[in-house]
Amino acid sequence: MRLREKELGLHHKEVKAKLEAEKNRADVEIAERKLSIQLLQSQNLRRAISSLNKLLLTLRFLPTGDLYIAIGGFISIRKTTAGRIIKQVVNALCSIFPQHVFLPRTEEEQMKAEIDFFMISRFPRVIGAMDCTHIKIKSPGGDNAEVYRNRK
């Protein structure tokens, strides 16, 4: 156990989980700041829902696809309001998406991305990846055939 972990009285896995939670919290705060102007427009001030709650509601919905009524219960709103909020947040995310997610544009950027991916996973000629996207690759067979198995 490292000295800092002993001071905190935490195991390495607990420290790692805490650091990951802090990173996720920081990412959400950054996204909320970038989206807050769009998310606060045309809002009923009588029962205003914060831009942070709108973002968290949408982030809870997107990976699961749960029913609006279940997601709405998260912040005590009706399913129609949940649907409106999710649509608003997704539109706001789409408007800033090109500024933050893109493939390498120049040959130099592509070469650097290929090298970086190769250093991480020894997978050649890759310049980008999206989680949960499966692309069928025909195995060349032979000694390395198992490398091409989809393990998801």
Residue 31: pLDDT over 80:
no
What pLDDT was estimated at residue 23?
A: 63
pTM higher than the cut 0.75: no
Mean pLDDT of the region 90-111: 86
Q: Which helix (H) or strand (E) holds 90?
A: helix 79-100
Q: Which of 101-109's residues contact partners 24+ apart within 8 Å by CB, and which partners?
A: 103/127, 103/128, 104/128
pLDDT digits (tens, 9 = 90+) for 128-146: 777 666 666 677 778 877 7
